[in-house]
């Protein structure tokens, strides 16, 4: 069985409250040997760390752009303190999830930018890569990275242009591909999945979000009472199968390549696997 690394899994999310440990066991049974669990705000820093230690996984600490509206400067100070307190923890592998979101209405762009840049400074201070939230924000994120270089990381759920992909790669980033790629109508994303060099790609689920096509329900179906399917790390091998088919590669080769890429993006993983 191939070994898979889920580089982005919100295992602490409330959707997993009924069966969290069973979810992780099922993923392990499918060959998912490791999950990276990124935080989204101060309130879940302790929980992602505890989960990583409980399941032998890893975690990242940060403030997600969607949570900047209820965060303040005190949270940035506490993040600096938490990174300092846990810098010797081998399971702390990145600052994240951080970034910018240009899709959700009502967010303050200037506030997002301030939190993003402050967390780039922290990544530089502690020598950690970053896990980036990239949604209609690639060019702005790249501008920040050029001005405040960090030790690489992962552009999570990448869905930009080939030019933007190459720009992230030039800055030492890997690009996260997951459930969105499984949808046949995602033409640009599937083309990127085929054309990007193998050393650019890492796999992720973003569980419980971004369900693959076999779990997805349309807005019309949800209006009729059918719930959205819950994504989970056990889906990663099947998602990987779609990527392997798009690239014309055998699954064992894809597993080896994407796992090596994850270790390159998040070097502390090398001591955990």
Quote the pTM value: 0.97
Instruction: Look up the CATH number of the domain holding residue 185.
Output: 3.20.20.140
Please say if the pLDDT value at position 46 is more than 80.
Answer: yes
Instruction: Give the least confident one: 23-32, 72-81, 218-227.
Output: 218-227
- Band (pLDDT 50/70/90 cuts) for residue 18 is very high
Per-residue pLDDT, 218: 76
Please say if the pLDDT value at position 98 is more than 90.
Answer: yes
53 known ligand binder: no
Query: Could you tell me if 164 and 138 are in contact, meaning their C-beta atoms sit under 8 angstroms apart?
Result: yes
184 known ligand binder: no
Q: What angle do CA 209, 210, 212 make, to 5 degrees?
A: 125
Return the residue matching tokens 């990174």.
Answer: 83
Per-residue pLDDT, 1: 65
Question: In the numeric block, which tokens belong to residue 115?
Answer: 């939190």
Return the residue matching tokens 């900047």.
Answer: 68
Q: If you average pLDDT over every residue of the chain, what do you get?
A: 96
Question: CA–CA distance from 200 to each of 5, 123, 155, 194 (Å)?
Answer: 15, 21, 10, 11
Per-residue pLDDT, 223: 74
Instruction: Supply φ then ψ for residue 203, to 5 degrees.
Output: -105, 150
pLDDT digits (tens, 9 = 90+) for 210-269: 999 999 887 777 777 777 789 999 999 999 999 999 999 999 999 999 999 999 999 999
In the chain, how many domains are there?
Answer: 1
pLDDT digits (tens, 9 = 90+) for 113-144: 999 999 999 999 999 999 999 999 999 999 99
Question: In the numeric block, which tokens belong to residue 203?
Answer: 């796999």
19 known ligand binder: no
pLDDT digits (tens, 9 = 90+) for 159-189: 999 999 999 999 999 999 999 999 999 999 9
Query: Could you tell me if 155 and 175 are in contact, meaning their C-beta atoms sit under 8 angstroms apart?
Result: yes
Residue 22's domain comprises 4-271
55 known ligand binder: no
Query: Could you tell me if 179 and 206 are in contact, meaning their C-beta atoms sit under 8 angstroms apart?
Result: yes
How many other CB atoms are found less than 10 A from the CB of residue 227? 8
- Say what percent of the chain tops pLDDT 70: 99
């Amino acid at each position: 069985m191939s070994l898979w690394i889920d580089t982005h899994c919100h295992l602490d999310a409330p959707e997993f409250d009924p069966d969290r440990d069973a979810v992780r066991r099922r993923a392990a049974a499918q060959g998912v040997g490791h999950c990276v669990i990124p935080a989204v705000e101060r309130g879940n820093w302790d929980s992602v760390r505890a989960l990583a230690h409980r399941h032998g996984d890893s975690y990242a600490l940060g403030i997600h752009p969607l949570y900047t509206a209820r965060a303040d400067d005190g949270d940035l100070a506490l993040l600096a303190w938490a990174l300092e307190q846990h810098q010797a923890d081998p399971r702390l592998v990145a600052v994240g999830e951080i970034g910018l979101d240009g899709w959700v209405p009502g967010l303050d762009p200037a506030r997002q930018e301030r939190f993003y840049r402050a967390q780039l400074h922290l990544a530089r201070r502690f020598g950690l890569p970053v896990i980036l939230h990239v949604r209609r924000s690639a060019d702005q994120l790249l501008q920040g990275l050029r001005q405040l270089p960090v030790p690489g990381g992962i552009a999570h759920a990448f869905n930009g242009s080939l030019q933007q992909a190459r720009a992230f790669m030039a800055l030492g980033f890997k690009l996260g591909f997951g459930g969105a790629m499984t949808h046949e109508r995602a033409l640009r994303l599937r083309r990127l999945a085929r054309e990007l060099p193998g050393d650019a790609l890492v796999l992720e689920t973003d569980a419980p979000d971004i369900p693959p096509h076999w779990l997805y329900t349309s807005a019309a179906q949800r209006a009729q009472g059918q719930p959205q399917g819950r994504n989970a790390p056990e889906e990663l091998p099947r998602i990987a199968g779609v990527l392997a088919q798009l690239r014309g590669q055998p699954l064992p080769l894809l597993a080896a390549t994407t796992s090596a890429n994850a270790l390159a993006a998040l070097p502390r993983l090398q001591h955990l696997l």
